[in-house]
Amino acid sequence: MKLVRYGPPGREQPGLIDGQNRLRSLRDVVRDIGPDVYAPQGQRALRKLDVEALPLVRGKPRLGVPFVGIGKFIAIGLNYRDHAAEARLPIPSEPIVFNKWTTCISGPSDPIEQPPHSTRLDWEVELGVVIGRQARYVPVGEALAHVAGYCAVHDVSERQFQFERGSQWDKSKGCDSFGPVGPWLVTADELPDPQSLDLWLDVNGRRMQSGNTRDMIFSVAQIVSYLSHFMTLRPGDLIATGTPAGVGMGQKPPRYLQPGDLVELGIQGLGCQRQTVLASARKVAQDAAGLVLATKT
């Protein structure tokens, strides 16, 4: 199943994409696409529906984040060998774990807002993993049974924040609009092998990233198992699993996003995203430490 939420921000309605790629309403079936819906029991109930009897949604409404209930947004760094090489960093011996704040989450075609003091805005296409069953100390061989489904994630990053302001990845990855998710939540039964998916990203029509999840250093199963030994994973938790080579900081010379740029990305079977970069409408004179920032909007 391809589960979606559609409509204006804050007023999204539940839906699904049928076999002919048409949007159908689930408004009369479920209140929203929450953990009770994409948990195993909820998925079983949806599979019993007569999809052809569900109302078709007319027009092309905005698609929002395809599910709610995201308690944690966890990300894995340097999980493709070619990306670690372009970053001139060693291959990790264990997964590198950081957080993306849930306030960064946006719909798959919502704009990316460049922070007012941003100078190195970068792109990263990633496979997202959605937890459907609580996972705690889970063996690798049982990890995928705890996955509800998969989605595309854009791990927007600010490299100056990441490497020149205390080397704290979290604050470079969690700004507002830095986490587009969707367009769909594809249930795990439709993607039995998450390690064979092509993924790509274009900037202004130019192909910048092209990879396959088979090239991950740590597989989805390994990541879910690993994380479950450091935290309890709950239904709705979202994991971004790393990006292949081709990010802006890896270009020669480096190339970063500017207002007006168009970013398009997709993952095999998981749909496509499309975002325009906007300049921030806000002006910042000082940072949290009281240091003057030279910013222009």
What CATH number has the domain bearing residue 142?
A: 3.90.850.10
- Looking at the structure, tell me whether residues 116 and 166 fall in a common domain: yes
- Looking at the structure, tell me whether residues 48 and 132 fall in a common domain: no
Residue type, 246: G
- Looking at the structure, tell me whether residues 118 and 163 fall in a common domain: yes
Q: What pLDDT does 34 receive?
A: 97
State which residues form the domain around 41: 2-53
Structural contact between residues 3 and 61, judged by C-beta atoms closer than 8 angstroms: no
Q: Is residue 230 part of a domain?
A: yes
- Looking at the structure, tell me whether residues 127 and 189 fall in a common domain: yes
- Looking at the structure, tell me whether residues 107 and 176 fall in a common domain: yes
Q: How confident is residue 283, by pLDDT bands cut at 50, 70 and 90?
A: low
- Looking at the structure, tell me whether residues 34 and 114 fall in a common domain: no
b/e burial code for range 168-190 (CB count within 10 A of at least 16 → b): ebebbbbbebbbbbbbbbbbbee
Q: Is residue 44 part of a domain?
A: yes
What does the pLDDT look like over 52-91, one tens digit per residue?
Answer: 999 999 999 999 999 999 999 999 999 999 888 888 888 9
- Looking at the structure, tell me whether residues 35 and 167 fall in a common domain: no
pTM: 0.93
Region 112-126 average pLDDT: 96
Least confident span in 75-89, 94-108, 154-168, 207-221? 154-168
pLDDT over 90 at 297, yes or no: no
**Total of domains in the chain:** 2
**Cα distance between residue 89 and residue 237, in whole Å:** 28
